[in-house]
Amino acid sequence: MRKIIKRSVVVLLAGVLLFSLSGCKKKQKKDEVQRYAWPLGTSSPEDTVTQLYAEKFAKEVSRLSHGKMKIEVYPNSTLGGDRELLESCKDGDIPFVVQNTAPQVTFLPDTAVFDLPSAFTTIQQARAAVDNEEFYQKMEKVYQKGGYKLLGYADQGFRVMSTNKNVKGINDFKGQKIRTMENSYHLKFWKTLGANPTPMTFSEVYIGLQQGTIDAQENPYEVIVSSKLYEQQDYVVETNHLPHYISLIVSDEFYNSLSKDQQKIIDQASQTAKVYAREASDKRIADRIKIIEDSGTKIVKLDTKTQKEMRKQAQPVYDAIKKSISKDIYNAYLSGVEK
C-alpha cells in the first residue's frame, strides 16, 4: 500500500511538473509567478544536514527569483527511496534530489571513487578534493551522461564506527560483526580489516545492536545520534574511513528547459546552500559528540599509526575501484593527498 501511495504521489507531481514545464516554454509575463512548486526529494529525516541543505537551496531559489521560482522539499522517502528518487529524477518526474553518493554507484559507476577508504585525514581535505575544478568538471560529465546535472557536494562529516569493543589498534577490528550498507566496496574494506561486515536494513540496526545480532555499525555522527544508536554501544571510534558526501542533483532535461536567468538562479542558490550545509555539519557534529559523551559512551580517537595501517590494509579496495572507474577521475580525486 505504501508503494502504491508513493507511486501516486510521484504521478501527481509529474503531472503538475509537466503542466508547469509547458508554461516555462511559453513567454512569461514580467511579473508572472510560478503557480506550482517543483518537488525536491530526499530519503533522509527532517533533523539532518541533508534536510538543511535541501531547505536552504529551496529558500535561496525563492529569494533570488523574488518568489517566482518555488521548490517544495519532500523528506523521509515520501517520494521514494534512493533508487526510486534517482530513477524519477532521470525521467524528469522529480527534478531535484539531495542524497548520499553511495546509492548512485549502480547508476553512475564512476561515483565509486567516493568509496575509496581512509583517503583523507581531515574533512577539509575531502572537501578540497570534490571542489577541485579538474575533478568536479569530470564528475559533471559523469552525471550528465547519466541524465543528471550536478549542482554540488556538501557532507555530514566522516563516517565513524560505533561498537562495544575499545579499538586501540588495527587488530581490534578483527572478528567484529559490523553492519554496513549493501555496497561491495564497503564490505570489502571491512573484510580487509578482519571484521565480519553484515549488510542490514537500517531500520533493523538498533534492534540488531540491542539483541547482539551485530556488534557494531558505521555511520556519520548525525545518524548515530538521530537514531540513538549510541544507547546500545560503549564506544564511538573515529575511524573516519569515508566522507559522507551529500550530492544535490537536478534532471538534466529539466535544467535545460529553464531560461538562462533561471539556470543562473539555480546555480547560485546551490553554491550558497553547499557552504551553508558544510558549516551546519561542522557545528552539529560538535553538538552530537557532546550528546554521546554525556550519555556515557566514549569517543575513541585513532592514532596516526593505526590510520595509516587502515589505509595500507585497504589497498585491495583501491585496486578494485581503480579497475572499475575512469583512471582520470581516480587520479584527480586523490591528486591532493597523493602529492
What's the pLDDT tens digit per position in 256-287?
999 999 999 999 999 999 999 999 999 999 99
Q: Residue for cell digits 564511538?
A: 236
- φ and ψ of 28, to 5 deg: -90, 155
Cβ neighbors of 238 (< 8 A, separation 6 or more) are 158, 160, 299, 300, 301, 302
| Residue 202 exposure: Cα atoms within 13 Å on the Cβ side | 14
pLDDT of the chain along its 339 residues, tens only?
444 444 455 545 544 454 444 444 444 444 466 778 999 999 998 889 999 999 999 999 999 999 999 999 999 999 999 999 999 999 999 999 999 999 999 999 999 999 999 999 999 999 999 999 999 999 999 999 999 999 999 999 999 999 999 999 999 999 999 999 888 999 999 999 999 999 998 889 999 999 999 999 999 999 999 899 999 999 999 999 999 999 999 999 999 999 999 999 999 999 999 999 999 999 999 999 999 999 999 999 999 999 999 999 999 999 999 999 999 999 999 997 755
Cα atoms in the 13 Å half-sphere on the side-chain side of 140: 9
Q: Is residue 25 part of a domain?
A: no
Cα separations (Å) of 206 from 199, 200, 275? 14, 11, 32
Residue 300: beta bridge partners? 237
Q: How many domains does the chain have?
A: 1
Note the pLDDT of residue 80. 94
Q: Is residue 46 part of a domain?
A: yes
If you search the block for the grid coordinates 546555480, which residue do you land on? 267
Whether 58 and 91 have beta carbons less than 8 Å apart is answered as no
Cα–Cα distance, 92 to 190 (Å, whole number): 37
**Residue 125 sits in which domain range?**
2-18+36-334
> The domain that contains 190 carries what CATH number?
3.40.190.170
Please report the pLDDT score of residue 73 as a whole number. Answer: 98
In a domain, 111, yes or no: yes
pTM of the complete model beyond 0.75: yes
Tens digits of residue pLDDT in 6-36: 445 554 554 445 444 444 444 444 446 677 8
The grid coordinates of residue 214 equal 551485530
Residue 26, in any domain of the structure: no
Task: Indicate whether 339 belongs to any domain.
Answer: no
Helix, strand or coil for residue 11? helix
Q: Is residue 31 part of a domain?
A: no
In a domain, 29, yes or no: no
For residue 30, is it within any domain? no
Provide the phi-psi class of 256: left if phi over 0, else alpha when psi is between -120 and 50, else beta: alpha
Q: What is the pLDDT of residue 32?
A: 60
Tell me if 249 sits within 8 A of 313, measured CB to CB. no
